[in-house]
Structures are given as structure tokens and as C-alpha cells.
Amino acid sequence: MSRIQIPTVQASHALSRPLLAAVQKQLGVVPNLMKLVGHSPAALEGYLSLNGALAKGKLDVQLRERIALAVAEFNGCDYCLSAHDYLGRNVAKLSDSELDAARDGHSADPRAAAALRFARRVAEARGRVSDDELAALRAAGFDDAEAIEIVANVAVNVLTNYVNNMAQTDIDFPTVTARMAA
């Protein structure tokens, strides 16, 4: 049971309701995370804005979902693992083996594997990656804009991981459980 009440869209803060309506229009549903974050219209707007901006960036949906899975596994966030496993399957069209590998920061695709290694190091080192780690990402074909977008994707996922871990958000996706506590 969630430690913070998850309101209905209608019972949400008045300033959050239009944002949640936009989520409903885009996804066909309003996930519990959005309703929970909607307690703070500023937090909801910030999350949706950053997430929307990153969707227009250089990293494709497959890589963004892989990063989300790697970060959620690292942070032990069952809600985000469940959500991004679902999105990875149904939106990004990733295979079971790629979904599983992404949770451990791996991929059969060498470029995606390099990005996931880097994203995992960003999370582990709190952004303080080494020159060699940044050079390895560049050697895999990523430019500076993509490096920054990887960090931004890690950050937006850390935000949702921390909110869900703090609130113990009720999972409204097929449940996926972290392999080990972070």
C-alpha cells in the first residue's frame, strides 16, 4: 500500500489536473506515479517537461527505456522496473533478452551496451565518471550532446525511482521486482 495517498485525477490538485489530462490523452491511462507526483503541480510539470524534452532528443526510445531499466534496477525501484519493462516491451519493442540485459546494464548491441555501462557509472559515481569512461562512450560513437542526454535520462529516472521508493507507490503495471536491494 502506498505510503502517500494516490488521488484520482478528479481529486488531484487543480493545477495538476490539466497535466494529468494530457497524460491520459497521450497514454490512454494516468499511471499512479503521475497522480502521486501530481500532489505537487510544480514537480509534475517539471517531470513531464524534462521527460517530454528528452523524448525529442538524440537518444531513441529503445535506449531511453534500457537506461530507465538499468537505473531502476540499480536503485531497486520495483515501480519503475514494472513501468519500464511494460514500456520497453510495448512501446520500444525490446525483446525479453534485451529487457533482462538492460537491467544489468548490458545489451547485445555494442553501442547500446556502451551507453548502458556509462549510464550505470553515472548513477554509481553520482556523475563523477572518469576520463576513460567518457572516452569509451565517445569511442562507441556518442557525441557530447548524447553524453549529456544519457546523464539527463539517468537523472529523470533517479527522480522517479526516489519518489516511488519513498512513497512505496502501488504498482499499476505487471509487476517486476528488483533482483537485489540497492
pLDDT of residue 180: 74
53 backbone dihedrals φ, ψ, rounded to 5°: -65, -40
pLDDT of residue 182: 47
Local structure of residue 40 (DSSP, 8 states): S
Cα dihedral across residues 112, 129, 58, 72: positive or negative? positive
CATH number attached to the domain at 1-56: 1.20.5
pTM: 0.96
Cα distances (Å, whole numbers) of residue 121 to 43, 143, 160 = 26, 17, 18
Query: 61-167 adopts what CATH topology?
Result: AhpD-like (1.20.1290)
Residues 112, 102: Cα–Cα separation, whole Å: 9
Question: What are the sequence ranges of the domains in the chain?
Answer: 1-56, 61-167
Low-confidence ranges of the chain (pLDDT < 50): 182
Are the folds of 1-56 and 61-167 the same?
no
